[in-house]
Structure 1
Amino acid sequence: MSQISNSTWKSQTGYIWALIGSAVGFANVLSFSAQVYKNGGGAFLIPYFFALFLLGIPMLILEGKIGYKWKLPLITTFIKTGIPRLKVIGWLSVIACITIGAFYIVLTGYAVSYTFFAATKSIPEDTQNFFLHDFLHLTPSISDFGTISFPILFSTIVVCLSTWYVLTRRVQDGIEKICSFFMPIMVLIILIFAIVSCLLPGGINAFYYYLKPDFEKLYQPQLWRDIFGQLFFSLSLGLGIIIGYSRHTQKNTNIVKAMCLVAFGDFFVSFISGIAIFGCLSHISYVQNIPFSEIIKSDSTFEIGFILFPKILKSFGFFEPIIGTIFFFCIFIAGITGVFSIVECIVGNVEEEFRIDRKKAVGITLIILMSFSLFFCMGNGSHIIDALAPMVLGTNMLIGALGLILSFAYSKTLQVFDESIPTLLQICIKFIIPIILLVILISNLFSEITHLNFATNLRFAWLLMALIIGNICVTLTEKKRLSHKLYSN
């Protein structure tokens, strides 16, 4: 293994900022606000905060402890169970990371392009037509590929090259330095945006719309699926990303404290981003005399960031390019720090399982991601993302989390839990969380089966292919391991 792979975080603070960089992404800046808007304001916030304590923090601690204890990536860690075939669970998560990474670098590319558009005042008055047709080249359906968007393609290449530059360095020289410098700045900027948006005409009404709960929503199963889906996506649970970062920790790292700080940091960024977004929406509602509930017309997360916000920018006059550039640069930072963690997760597993050099693993991984990302640069790219997201960012993450709990939490010989983990948390991880995850998983699968269409068929096809590829990879790597005895006891 290369020295880069054996490198550790320089400090616990750097490790925490890197994890926050992984957690804070589109899910926080854009998706969280869209979920609150759709699900009744405080009716989403209150149970979300409860779920953070009940599920989010315990799962973070479990994954953090696994990485901290064995210093191995997700797939290789399953060897410790004594049942090598369980590695297929890890491969499912890594294949999901490859899929997520392929479209996440494209979405981060959106922010690169829009940072340039904002700086040069290239966004016209009709922001919707510009985003959907001029930029995305959006086609009517998933079966219509349309044409490739060259601004998106170019921006995606920029993201890939930036990722290669950072990940071919030691974690303390690459990821840690970038996250420790940019993440505090990003949080400060979002906080300023939240204050400014509430000072806009009508913006103060944001607190009413944001915090007032619609308790009728609590009786809707979809609300709870959205809450746990948002939580898993935001905290990167069940994918091996937390394990991948935690394997680089030093011996004196306080995992429980670190994970609590990461969870609250992630929620804080989501919360203040929500205030900033709701302030802007309240401003639009006030100025254009539109009912607040009718501003967002679709379920797309990106309507807020790339259609509505550019409209608001037009009201800032001279400051439009300055504010726009800062806003989209923040989205870029949120996106690319997430890309770092996704690619790091894939690279760590490829390195260990196939025993190849770190820089070569980074290069191969990014070439694969760039190749797959071409599909998401086409006119039907956003349709494909919408079709795959419920599987790779939903069902598959639940399977991964359940697999980790059942494989590690109950084992007395593996001893994942120590005196630093309170008994209440252990009970939560062993008994409460599996029941919750199983109920949501069954609910998701039932919903998919009873609403079969092209998108659901695509999702099940992805799962089948992932299982086949995962089993093939387990067979190949296990033969190599047994013949060369590559893993230490």
Structure 2
Amino acid sequence: MKQRDQWGTRLGFILAAVGSAIGMGNIWRFPYMVYENGGGAFLIPYFVAVFTAGIPLLILEFGVGQKYAGSTPATFRTLKEKWAWIGWWQILVCFVIACYYVVIIGWSFSYLTFSFNLGWGEDTAGFFFNEYLHISNGPFELGGIQWHILAPLAMVWLVCWGVLMCGVKKGIEAANKFFMPALFLMVILIMARAVTMPGAVDGLNWLFKPDFAKLGDIKVWAAAFGQVFFSLSVGFAIMITYSSYLSEEADINNNAFMTAFINCGFSMLAGIMIFSVLGYMAAQKGVPIQEVVKSGVSLAFVTIPQAINFMPGATFIGILFFLSLLFAGVSSMISICEACIAGILEGFKVSRKAATSLLCGLGFLVSLVYTTGGGLYVLDIVDHFINTYAVLLGGFIEIVLLSWFFRLETIREHVNRTSDFMVGSWWTFCLKFFTSFVLGYMLVMKCVGDIKTPYEGYPLEALGVYGWAVVAALPVVAVILAKSDSLGRKE
């Protein structure tokens, strides 16, 4: 039997876990979440969420992954035979995310090239939506493939294929040892320049000015828990897969705390960087900062390029910013794909080369839909439904099963045996009661909201086809895979 891959060093695992946790959302979503949910006051529920949900969940997934040393389907099957489909469900979620996440990384690569001559021009919104995306009139008007989007997308898939082909130690670990230090360095350089510019202080005041009245709004607390849950890559196969490559002596508790704190630290740096730049742009345009604050792809590909146009050394800042987006995206993309590859490797007894080629080849074909004129609409709908229901529900089911239908003390005893410091009953309480309740509440509220008000005003048919149908198909396919993989077949 071939020996299972392992990380070469503890640092390599930490950087890979951090590389998975730190994605483009840390740069374009976290700052807006802070701004919109009480400024500095939001940091109170945010850090409560880190200690009561983020770190306990990381310890749980690191512990389960290390103890059972298998892919997510194999791990759940070991815990209980009939739970294997949950592991496949999480892997399918990873696959769907990879297929649209890769196109955003491709946009970042394109914008990196545009940075050399500020090719997005003065009307950054018109350039992004009309000239670059050639956006259609709706989600059912796909139009043709945009070849200038397809080319960078193919390059990103090729890079991921190359890294993943090299395995855990020589591929993923080596890549993250380069990506993560470089990413932190670039963000610090941009931040150091941005905070010295006129208007930067005003931007930071808007970011961190506390509105303690917001603490009485349960939606703010739910937003904090949601940010922590999604940011740390828990609940959908990645951290269980990564920790399955740990040695038996690895310090689980320390690793979990370090991963969470480094991720939080990067989010803070990104927030300071983004709002310093937005404050400067607002000052240059003579408008309130509320008029320039955006979130998501509009922040990254419309607002920030517009802000860069105003900045001294615009070309250099543009290169650094989009290179940082590219590195953050690729490191996360690698982790998403590795979770899938591990499942294929162990579930169907194929080589890493075959599993990687199958995953990347099939993923490339599926991702073609996002290179069309209607790709942005499809991406927006799929992303909303996958993150709201597939990821959140999968994580909720995982926590409930492991906390209530499996002896959770088994994992606590295991992680304490290998760690420098021990976790106590607070860890069990958080998982069984606090985190389970919050995630359940979030699921119900988001479902009620989507039923009352169609997401972003999209036609119900589009939400049905690209949203509900995709989410509903995942557990069905997961059950089929669980019954057909080699682990589940009777020898």
TM-score by length of 1: 0.93
Within 2, Cα distance between the matches of 1:288 and 1:58?
45
* Local SS of the residue matching 1:148: coil
Within 2, Cα distance between the matches of 1:216 and 1:381?
40
Note the C-alpha offset of 1:221: 4.8
Aligned counterpart, 1:135: 132
Q: How does 1:411-426 map to 2 (within 5 A)?
A: 411-412=406-407, 415-418=410-413, 419=416, 420-426=422-428
* Local SS of the residue matching 2:170: coil
Report which stretch shifted further, 90-99 or 212-221: 212-221
The correspondence for 2:45, drawn from 38, 44, 47, is: 47
Report which stretch shifted further, 444-453 or 98-107: 444-453
Q: Contact 1:229–1:394 at 8 Å: present in 2 too?
A: no
Note the alpha carbon deviations across 1:134-189, whole angstroms, 9 max, x for none. 11112232122133222221111110000011001121111111111221221122
Report which stretch shifted further, 261-270 or 460-469: 460-469
Within 2, Cα distance between the matches of 1:174 and 1:271?
29
Structure 1 counterpart of 2:316, one-letter code: I
The correspondence for 2:380, drawn from 378, 386, 394, is: 386
The correspondence for 1:481, drawn from 459, 470, 488, is: 488
Report which stretch shifted further, 56-65 or 32-41: 32-41
Note the C-alpha offset of 1:21: 0.5
Structure 2 counterpart of 1:50, one-letter code: V
Note the C-alpha offset of 1:379: 1.6
Whether 2:305 is the aligned partner of 1:310: answer yes
Note the C-alpha offset of 1:425: 1.1
Aligned counterpart, 2:201: 204
Aligned counterpart, 1:468: 476
Whether 2:246 is the aligned partner of 1:249: answer yes
Aligned counterpart, 2:325: 331
How large is the Cα RMSD of the aligned pairs? Answer: 1.9
Residue-pair matches, total: 477
Note the C-alpha offset of 1:215: 3.5
Pair 2,38 (structure 1): closer, same or farther in 2 beyond 3 Å: farther
The correspondence for 1:231, drawn from 228, 235, 249, is: 228
Whether 2:373 is the aligned partner of 1:375: answer no
Structure 1 counterpart of 2:94, one-letter code: C
Within 1, Cα distance between the matches of 2:356 and 2:121?
38
Aligned counterpart, 1:31: 29
Within 2, Cα distance between the matches of 1:248 and 1:343?
15
Within 2, Cα distance between the matches of 1:454 and 1:230?
29
Pair 223,15 (structure 1): closer, same or farther in 2 beyond 3 Å: same
Pair 379,226 (structure 1): closer, same or farther in 2 beyond 3 Å: farther
Aligned counterpart, 1:487: none
Aligned counterpart, 1:258: 255
Aligned counterpart, 1:301: 296
Report which stretch shifted further, 122-131 or 394-403: 394-403
Note the C-alpha offset of 1:103: 0.6
Aligned counterpart, 2:419: none
Within 1, Cα distance between the matches of 2:128 and 2:140?
20
Q: How does 1:92-171 map to 2 (within 5 A)?
A: 92-171=89-168
* Local SS of the residue matching 1:104: helix
Report which stretch shifted further, 120-129 or 92-101: 120-129
Within 2, Cα distance between the matches of 1:356 and 1:106?
28
Within 2, Cα distance between the matches of 1:475 and 1:118?
50
Note the C-alpha offset of 1:455: 5.1
Report which stretch shifted further, 300-309 or 407-416: 407-416
Structure 1 counterpart of 2:360, one-letter code: L
Within 2, Cα distance between the matches of 1:59 and 1:394?
18
Note the C-alpha offset of 1:113: 0.7
Note the alpha carbon deviations across 1:446-468, whole angstroms, 9 max, x for none. 22233353454242211221122
Q: Contact 2:86–2:394 at 8 Å: present in 1 too?
A: yes
Pair 200,241 (structure 1): closer, same or farther in 2 beyond 3 Å: same
The correspondence for 1:20, drawn from 18, 21, 34, is: 18
Note the alpha carbon deviations across 1:284-340, whole angstroms, 9 max, x for none. 1111111111213x6x502222112212222345x3222211211111000000000
Note the alpha carbon deviations across 1:384-423, whole angstroms, 9 max, x for none. 1221223212222222222222333342398222133322
Q: Contact 2:106–2:149 at 8 Å: present in 1 too?
A: yes
Within 2, Cα distance between the matches of 1:282 and 1:257?
37
The correspondence for 1:448, drawn from 447, 450, 454, is: 450
Within 1, Cα distance between the matches of 2:40 and 2:138?
35
